[in-house]
Amino acid sequence: MEFWDNINDVVKNMGDRAIDLIETAKLSARIMAEKKEVSDELEKIGTYYYELYARGGIVAPEVAELSKTVKNHYDAIDRFQAEIDRLRADQQVKKTKYCPACGIKVSSSTRYCSGCGELLLK
């Protein structure tokens, strides 16, 4: 009977371990959720102080220093966006076509010229 008692202990142990693993996973998930909440709240605090700085409000030197870094990143975003806008505008210009018959500007996808009816797509 000692064999079966040992087997029972092993199975019970495995069950306990599985329950512990599930509990650990649940608690880890809750820690992750709490960390996300903390991160969201810290972001609100950061945004509050950044906006205060950006409006010319008085902030601690450390906050001003960090805000300058944020401002630099916002400026970089603006430059990249301007570059994207410029590339898209260039693309639009390249797509613009002119009717070979009457010379008016026509859409690149249009089949006939809206001015003179010339067949554009052949």
> Residue 57 or 115: which CB sits closer to Zn ion?
115
Q: Nearest distance from residue 100's CB to Zn ion, in Å?
A: 8
> Residue 54 or 116: which CB sits closer to Zn ion?
116
DSSP 42-81: HHHHHHHHHHHHHTT----HHHHHHHHHHHHHHHHHHHHH
**What is the binding site for Zn ion (CB under 5 A)?**
99, 101-102, 113, 115-116, 118
> Residue 38 or 101: which CB sits closer to Zn ion?
101
Q: Nearest distance from residue 111's CB to Zn ion, in Å?
A: 12
* Whole-number Å distance between alpha carbons of 122 and 101: 14
Q: Which SS3 state, helix, strand or coil, does residue 5 take?
A: helix
Q: Nearest distance from residue 89's CB to Zn ion, in Å?
A: 25
Count CB neighbours of 59 within 10 A: 16
> Residue 67 or 113: which CB sits closer to Zn ion?
113
